[in-house]
Amino acid sequence: GESVGLHLPTLSVQEGDNSIINCAYSNSASDYFIWYKQESGKGPQFIIDIRSNMDKRQGQRVTVLLNKTVKHLSLQIAATQPGDSAVYFCAENKGPSSYKLIFGSGTRLLVRP
């Protein structure tokens, strides 16, 4: 069946270090992937996205990598800050006409001072 999952439920990093959050997906037909950040008690916020014709995309302090061979998606956060502490979700969308996102269960990122 279709699913989007995460390898690690909780990730603890030292402030200033880089963080890597991983996500596995199972639907090879998905052509669009998104990362969201959700702070406690709030709604998810869009971080970055990537299409299946790309391997890498960079934003401000964040990079998303897509490995279609092994159906793996990762979010890298450079110089992690206390404000980065949140739950991070990956999601896949089957294309520009699809109104359905499949969300993973999330990874909690804890930043140690």
Partner 1 sequence: DGGITQSPKYLFRKEGQNVTLSCEQNLNHDAMYWYRQDPGQGLRLIYYSQIVNDFQKGDIAEGYSVSREKKESFPLTVTSAQKNPTAFYLCASSIGSDYTGELFFGEGSRLTVL
Nearer to partner 1, 34 or 77 (CB): 34
Write down the least CB distance from residue 42 to partner 1, Å: 6
Q: Considering only CA atoms, which of 61, 48, 2, 45 is closest in space to residue 26?
A: 2
Write down the least CB distance from residue 6 to partner 1, Å: 9
Binding site for partner 1 (CB under 8 A): 4, 9, 32, 34, 41-46, 49, 89, 91, 93, 96-101, 103-106
Write down the least CB distance from residue 50 to partner 1, Å: 10
3-state secondary structure the chain: CCCEECCCCEEEEECCCCEEEEEEECCCCCCEEEEEEECCCCCCEEEEEEECCCCEEECCCEEEEEECCCCEEEEEECCCCHHHCEEEEEEEECCCCCCCEEECCCEEEEEEC
Write down the least CB distance from residue 113 to partner 1, Å: 26
